[in-house]
Amino acid sequence: VVPADPAFAHLRTEQTWPVNNPEVSSPYPPGAQLYFLAATVAGESARAMKLAALVCDVLLALVVWRSLVATGANPGWMLAYAWNPLVSLEVARHGHVDVAGALLVALAAFALVRGRPLASTVALALSIAVKPVSLVLLPLLWRRISRWHAAAGGAVLLAVSVPFWNGHRPPLGSVPEVIDRFRFNAPVFSAAASLAGPAAATG
């Protein structure tokens, strides 16, 4: 829904209103929406969101450590992630959803190392449902998974997305509006957009 819609004013709290860009619906995909729902079961607050992000962060560090051990690498390299100040800033302080997507990517990599392609495919599909940028990792599964594994991952992605479909519109939220209205990496983006338009520049 659009946050500024008066029909949903009863959902606003002191912590959630005012919000930036209230005339634009959420750009977060179905997996992120389900993560937000799970994170706020006990209470809808910024603290609950940050606590959920912190739990994901701890689990991510654990998965990275186990992956290093499984590949015979020095497990001490896990500290390069755990002690990164940017992680603390974006996860524990800002509560960004990216950590949930990163956790699922790490689980996908760990499962692949352990010879479990089905689990790896499902974890990557869920990561795409949280942050579509994970799509760029699909080539890494090439020839490492079967068609059945790929079909299972697609089925999981579809199952997560179905509850969010609105008629014939896929659950993209305000992503098309974000592409048209918001800018990032300005020098490169602007040059590409002037030649081919914002959608092509985003691609």
- pLDDT for 72-105, tens place per residue? 999 999 998 888 888 888 888 888 899 999 999 9
pTM, entire model? 0.84
The token pair at 91 is 């996860």
How many other β-carbons are positioned within 10 Å of the β-carbon of residue 150? 16
Which of 145, 97, 94, 93 lies closest to 124, judged by CA? 145
Higher pLDDT, 164 or 122: 122
Per cent of the chain over pLDDT 90 is 50
Tokens 């449902």, residue located: 129
Burial of 27 (0-12, 13-18, 19+ CB in 10 A): middle
